Amino acid sequence: MFSVAREFSFSYGHRLYRYEGRCRRLHGHNARVVVEISGNGDTLNEMGMALDFTDIKATLGRWIDETLDHRVFLAEDDPLVQVLRDAGEDPLVFDGNPTAERLAKAIYDRAVAMGLRVSRVDFWETQNCRATYSRRDAERDDAPDKRG
């Protein structure tokens, strides 16, 4: 089976509310995201492509640029949400802390909603720290525990 991957980058700010480590403070990252998309088996289009990279950029890339880039991500119960709104800002609010794991899943879910056959999303918060969300991970989570 063919698959293609498209890399994106964007800048964002966040904090982890009620977290005890350094990330409890408002700070920023330059994220790197790789979205892997499954092709249609061994079939390629008339141009010899499983999926055109330009189409991925025009859909998912546009959403990332318009929705995620240069935004502040906060948990819905974080008191900074209202402070920023009162100041005329529009933070992107998550159900829970905006961790790398949640950001990977949010991008995965959005790509699937756009009709892309996403197999995995790798989200680098820093050059050394990555979270991955994939359909295989989701299927494993739903599988019964066989440890006894």
Widest CA span of the chain, in angstroms? 54
> In 10 A of CB 76, how many CB atoms?
12
Which pLDDT score, from 0 to 100, does residue 85 have? 98
- Are 130 and 100 a contacting pair, CB within 8 Å? yes
Q: What's the CA gap between 76 and 95, in Å, rounded?
A: 6
Which pLDDT score, from 0 to 100, does residue 88 have? 97
Q: Cα-atom radius of gyration of the chain, to the nearest Å?
A: 17
Which pLDDT score, from 0 to 100, does residue 148 have? 36
Domains and CATH numbers, the chain: 3-29+51-134 (3.30.479.10)
The helix/strand/coil state of 51 is coil
Residue 94 burial by CB count (10 A; 0-12/13-18/19+): exposed, middle or buried?
Answer: middle
List per-residue pLDDT tens for the chain, 148 residues long: 999 999 999 999 999 999 999 999 999 999 999 999 998 889 999 999 999 999 999 999 999 999 999 999 999 999 999 999 999 999 999 999 999 999 999 999 999 999 999 999 999 999 999 999 998 644 544 444 333 3
Which pLDDT score, from 0 to 100, does residue 140 have? 43
Which pLDDT score, from 0 to 100, does residue 40 have? 86
Which pLDDT score, from 0 to 100, does residue 146 have? 36
Q: What's the CA gap between 81 and 91, in Å, rounded?
A: 7
To which H or E segment does residue 82 belong? helix 80-86
